[in-house]
Amino acid sequence: MSQKSLYDILGVNKTASSSDIKKAYLRLARTHHPDKGGDPEKFKEIAHANEILSDEIRRRRYDELGVTDDSPSGPPGGGGGGGFPFPFDVNVNLNDFFGNMFGTMPPMGAHGNGPQRKGKKPSPTVQTVPIRLEQYYLGHQFEINIHRQSFCQECDHTGAKSKEICRRCNGNGSVTQVVQMGPMAMHTTGPCHECQGRGQKVLQMCGKCGGSGFTNERRNLTVHIPPGTRPQETYIFPEVCSDHPSFERPADAHILLQEDPNDPSYKQFKRHGDQYQHLETTITITLSEALLGVVIQLDGHPGYDEGLYLEIPAGTFHRDVYVIDGLGMPLLKESGKYGELHVTVEISVSDDERKKMATAGASLLQPILGSHCRTTSCSKESIQSQLKLKK
């Protein structure tokens, strides 16, 4: 390599940004690339300078110590760099050292210790889908279109049509070197940057995947919901997610059903029961309707688009619960069978009804209900009759 500084090779200042360095490299590469008739050694020098200066950690080490990965350092125990003696040697793995300082470095293939161990399968990808009450009642089917990346079969996920063993690391994927770190010399082991830790270098990219090692494909997942399906049901589609180099098999997709919060039917009806086969609802009627009976129209039932008509019998009281067989949800896997509809009645008393009950109503009910009223022995003067209704 030339004794010129790496900045001089690229023709940039020492304060140049990463973007400036990249632009300078691309400009010089277009001129000096061997395919363009350039000098191979000159191009190698430019590529080496870009490799060091475009890496934040290696650039910092070069600026502070004046060394690159393949620059000779002073022998342990001797002078070097700034003239400091080296009282001891330290053997350290560069991945561990810089990982502790700047965060764990991502996997980059084999680092001299054999290939990294792959996991079996990543955690599943969960997609929540809102379902209306009517769709649970009648049954429903929908499709989910997914775009996934799969390993390129043509290049066996390498991204290369042809490749060769990396000469710098001899196919190990890692290099060991001596680096001056202040008053000590460190024998460091780290990933080979020539081959990105793979141990091999690409000579010609794969035409099918464009060198990425992945191809894109589209899949359709069909979800079939039988009538009476319970909420929170999960449909599992095995190994349909994208391939991942850290795992042997792709992840599963989990489709989780939930009640649609925007469906007004859920404000009227709730599902319950061991199979969620029953529906429950609450209605409000007047005192007059409770005493005399009434037919009400119940909207929102998934089996009755035009409304469900119920006859509330005379003499209904507050918080009475009526149960109607066959008006609940379908029973899953039991064709033609349905759960129950539970109707809780609440009574609202208007001021006019209250006034009428205190006058004419009391007189009319006296012959019917008078015998059911309690009698108390006391003087008329001791009775507190000035009661006031709390509003």
Q: What is the dihedral of CA 219, 252, 214, 98, to 10 degrees?
A: 150
pTM, full prediction: 0.61
The 10s digit of each residue's pLDDT in 260-313 is: 999 999 999 999 999 999 999 999 999 999 999 999 999 999 999 888 999 999
Q: Identify the weakest region by mean pLDDT among 104-108, 190-194, 239-243.
A: 104-108
The 10s digit of each residue's pLDDT in 24-80 is: 988 898 888 887 788 888 888 998 989 899 888 889 888 877 777 655 443 333 333
pLDDT of residue 222: 94
Q: Which helix (H) or strand (E) holds 64?
A: helix 56-65
Flag whether 304 is in a domain.
yes
Phi, psi of 222 (to 5 degrees): -100, 125
Flag whether 164 is in a domain.
no
Flag whether 218 is in a domain.
no
Mapped onto helix, strand or coil, the DSSP state of residue 268 is: helix
Specify the CATH number for the domain of residue 347: 2.60.260.20
Residues in the chain, total: 391
Mapped onto helix, strand or coil, the DSSP state of residue 2 is: coil
Whether 152 and 177 have beta carbons less than 8 Å apart is answered as no
Structural tokens at position 228: 């009476």
User: Which whole number is the average pLDDT over 231-257?
Assistant: 93
The 10s digit of each residue's pLDDT in 368-385 is: 898 999 988 898 888 888
Q: How many domains in the chain?
A: 1
pLDDT of residue 182: 60
Flag whether 281 is in a domain.
yes
pLDDT of residue 323: 97
Considering only residues 175 and 300, tell me which one the structure prediction assigns the higher pLDDT: 300
Q: Which residues contact 201 (CB under 8 A, 6 or more apart)?
A: 163, 164, 165, 166, 194, 195
Flag whether 337 is in a domain.
yes
Structural tokens at position 197: 């830790």
pLDDT of residue 183: 65
Flag whether 361 is in a domain.
no
Q: Which domain holds residue 341?
A: 265-351
**Angle of helix 18-32 relative to helix 40-53, nearest 10 degrees?**
170
Residue 115 pLDDT > 80: no
The 10s digit of each residue's pLDDT in 236-247 is: 999 999 999 889
Q: In whole angstroms, what is the distance from residue 124 CA to residue 238 CA? A: 9
pLDDT above 90 as % of the chain? 46
pLDDT of residue 181: 61
Q: What is the mean pLDDT of the chain?
A: 82
Q: Which helix (H) or strand (E) holds 28?
A: helix 18-32
The 10s digit of each residue's pLDDT in 304-337 is: 988 899 999 999 999 999 999 999 999 998 889 9
Structural tokens at position 39: 């000098």
**Number of Cβ within a 10 Å radius of residue 159:** 19
Instruction: Give counts: helices (H), strands (E), the chain.
Output: 10, 16
Flag whether 8 is in a domain.
no
Flag whether 249 is in a domain.
no
User: Which whole number is the average pLDDT over 338-350?
Assistant: 96
